[in-house]
């Protein structure tokens, strides 16, 4: 998600100083971090880079960070992004019965066709930013918007199996957007017990790993995150811990000082939320090693499970 747009100020995403939550995360997931080191030592199935299978995307011209994906990159034959997102029978009886989770798949596959609409400025409390952006892509054209929808649909299946009611901000059923303020409003109006926005980053080559973005303390205009700070931090720390353990991925080596946690005050989706909410950048699409993971359907299933287990832990309060 590293591109100029509604949810990024590039100058604010690099090398944050560790905060008190570093200790909390260290206490939460020491076993997971050890597990990652073992994973790196022995190698993941499919090769030393941890790619379970070859890229599922079709070949395409390299796209610069933040460029609009091509139409081919969003409708490639054999793309399995929609497989987990078929009609569901609704939440099952389970431990999360009565809980509502709002899942926000970042961007939209067709945003690049609606530049006027997505460039419209919206109020995020601290300032005004573009409604939405196109997102990034891998060098061979696998779009972030395709990735986020695929992981979101897999996540929905897992949460519904636990009995949760899952609502999306968009499910590939809108021509563009929605805007970042509407994405927050959907979670608020659903009175979500937890909300998560799913992304993949567009950082320089060599920058690897995931990070979870927590809301900063913001009280300006329509934004007031103070009531959700504690719960959102708890949610984010749990997701970071389970994501490490399930996927074998390391916390980002370029933000968060190795904690996998970053606090931001420039994201409309967090600033305007009145329910516990975090973002997750699952990896860097511009790095070939991370891209090999992100384009693997097997790894995306692990990513969804890592996120799901963190949400379940949060909602269980244990």
* CA–CA separation, 143 and 122 (whole Å): 24
- Marked catalytic residue, from 130, 144, 265, 281: 281
Q: Running DSSP on this structure, what letter comes out for residue 44? A: B
Q: What residue spans of 165-296 are helical by DSSP H?
A: 180-189, 229-247, 268-271, 288-294
Pairwise CA distance, residues 96 & 316, whole Å:
8
CA atoms of 192 and 194, how far apart (whole Å): 5
Active-site residue 182, yes or no? no
Does residue 288 contact residue 296 with C-beta atoms inside 8 Å?
A: no
Interatomic CA distance for residues 312 and 286, integer angstroms: 31
- Taken in order 239, 242, 246, 251, the sign of the CA dihedral is positive
Q: Are the C-beta atoms of 246 and 305 separated by less than 8 Å?
A: yes
Going by C-beta distance under 8 Å and a sequence separation of 6 or more, which residues neighbour residue 95? 162, 163, 312, 316
Integer Cα distance of 58 and 55 in angstroms: 8
Contact by Cβ (8 Å): 291, 138: yes
**Which helix (H) or strand (E) segment is 122 a member of?**
strand 121-123
Spatial CB neighbours of 283, under 8 Å, sequence gap ≥ 6: 200, 201, 208, 209, 210, 249, 290, 291, 293, 294
- What does the alpha-carbon distance between residue 79 and residue 77 come to, in Å, rounded to a whole number? 5
Instruction: Produce one character per residue of 91-120: b if its CB has 16 or more CB atoms within 10 Å, e if not.
Output: beeeebeebbbbbbbbbbbbbbebeeebee
What positions carry a catalytic annotation? 281
């Amino acid at each position: 998600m590293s591109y100029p747009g509604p949810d990024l100020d590039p100058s604010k995403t690099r090398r944050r100083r560790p905060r008190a939550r570093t200790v909390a995360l260290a206490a939460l997931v020491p076993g997971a971090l050890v597990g990652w080191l073992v994973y790196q030592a022995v190698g993941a199935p499919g090769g030393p880079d941890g790619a379970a299978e070859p890229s599922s995307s079709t070949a395409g011209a390299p796209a610069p960070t933040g460029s609009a994906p091509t139409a081919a990159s969003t409708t490639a034959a054999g793309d399995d992004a929609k497989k987990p997102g078929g009609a569901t029978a609704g939440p099952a009886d389970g431990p999360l019965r009565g809980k509502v989770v709002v899942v926000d798949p970042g961007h939209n596959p067709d945003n690049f066709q609606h530049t006027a609409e997505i460039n419209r400025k919206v109020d995020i409390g601290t300032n005004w930013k573009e409604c939405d952006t196109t997102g990034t892509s891998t060098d061979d054209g696998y779009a972030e918007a395709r990735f986020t929808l695929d992981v979101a649909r897999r996540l929905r299946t897992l949460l519904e199996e636990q009995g949760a009611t899952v609502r999306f901000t968009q499910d590939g059923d809108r021509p563009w957007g929605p805007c970042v303020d509407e994405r927050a409003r959907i979670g608020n109006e659903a009175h979500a017990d937890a909300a998560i926005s799913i992304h993949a980053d567009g950082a320089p080559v060599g920058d690897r790993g995931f990070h979870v973005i927590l809301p900063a303390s913001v009280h300006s205009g329509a934004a007031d995150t103070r009531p959700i700070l504690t719960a959102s931090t708890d949610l984010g720390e749990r997701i970071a811990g389970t994501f490490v353990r399930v996927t074998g991925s390391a916390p980002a080596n370029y933000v968060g000082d190795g904690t996998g946690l970053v606090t931001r005050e420039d994201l409309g989706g967090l600033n305007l939320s009145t329910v516990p909410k975090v973002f997750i950048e699952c990896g860097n699409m511009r790095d070939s090693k991370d891209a090999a993971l992100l384009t693997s359907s097997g790894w995306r299933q692990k990513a969804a499970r890592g996120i799901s287990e963190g949400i379940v832990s949060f909602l269980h309060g244990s």
